[in-house]
Amino acid sequence: MSLKILETGTTNEFKDAEGIKGAQITLDWVQAQVFKGNVYHAYLGTATTPVTLDAAWANTDPDISIDVPNGRLIIPLRINVIMEAYGTTALFETMCLCSRTLAASSAGTAFVPINMKTRTGGGSNCSVYTGPTVTSGYTTGCFELFRNCQAKAVTIATAIDTSTWQNNVTEWSYLANGPAPVLEGNASLQIWATSQAASGYMNIYWVELDANAL
């Protein structure tokens, strides 16, 4: 597709963007959505400070949740869960649930989604919470986007130098693991990572559009 840019001083005049020498610029659909200000990012943990994750799984206690309101839709692009440390070698599990049920957070911390068009992108219509207590999304039509289980959780920092264990990173992307779902509101996306006294980081990127845009 050709990249369309709104002409300065107008509200509805779009023209093909051109390169310096007049060559037409062509972008894939996702990158075009970044230019349009429709791609957002949310995360848990920053810099060298991971978040403490739950020791036990509960369907009302994800680590991060996204509510998609009526009239909007999101398309997940990339999600990763990066573990830093564990208290013991107990079972580790991480999963992502897509549901037609709103999470409707009653606890936790509201997170303002970050527009990947950093200067001129608009705000998200979705509600994002970290560490929330939510309505269970395990309802009719729900499905898991990904799951990873490890029967023995190992903190690499305490392993011997010759250890062949790799850092525990779970990653899903529409490019490598697609197809990407279209979550049309009302809908929610929730992510868990659980192990005894565990800590780590999470990132999620998504396209957000009007429900009638596709």
Q: Do 161 and 147 lie in a common domain?
A: yes
| Phi, psi values for residue 34, rounded to 5° | -65, -45
Q: Do 129 and 112 lie in a common domain?
A: yes
Q: Which domain holds residue 203?
A: 39-210
Q: Do 66 and 150 lie in a common domain?
A: yes
Split into its structural domains, the chain has a count of 2
Q: Do 17 and 68 lie in a common domain?
A: no
Could you read off the pLDDT of 126-181 as tens digits, one per residue? Answer: 999 999 999 999 999 999 999 998 887 777 766 666 667 777 899 999 999 989 99
For the whole prediction, is pTM greater than 0.85?
Answer: no
Flag whether pLDDT at 34 surpasses 80. Answer: yes
SS (H, E, C) the chain: CECEEECCCCCCCEEECECCCCCECECCHHHHHHHCCCEEEEEECECCECEECCCCCCCCCCCEEEEECCCEEEEEEEEEEEEEECCCCCCEEEEEEEECCCCCCCCCEEECCEECCCCCCCCCCCEEEECCCCCCCCCCCCEEEEEEEECCCCCHHHCCCCCCCCCCEEEEEHHHHCCCCCEECCEEEEEEEECCCCEEEEEEEEEEEECCCC
Q: Do 25 and 58 lie in a common domain?
A: no
Give the whole-angstrom CA distance, residue 41 versus residue 115: 7
Give the whole-angstrom CA distance, residue 22 versus residue 33: 23
Q: Do 79 and 9 lie in a common domain?
A: no
Q: Would you say the C-alpha torsion 47, 53, 59, 61 has a positive or negative sign?
A: negative
Q: Do 202 and 128 lie in a common domain?
A: yes
Q: Do 107 and 13 lie in a common domain?
A: no
Q: Do 29 and 45 lie in a common domain?
A: no
Q: Do 106 and 185 lie in a common domain?
A: yes
Could you read off the pLDDT of 182-210 as tens digits, one per residue? Answer: 999 999 999 999 998 889 999 999 999 99
Q: Do 15 and 96 lie in a common domain?
A: no
Q: Do 10 and 99 lie in a common domain?
A: no
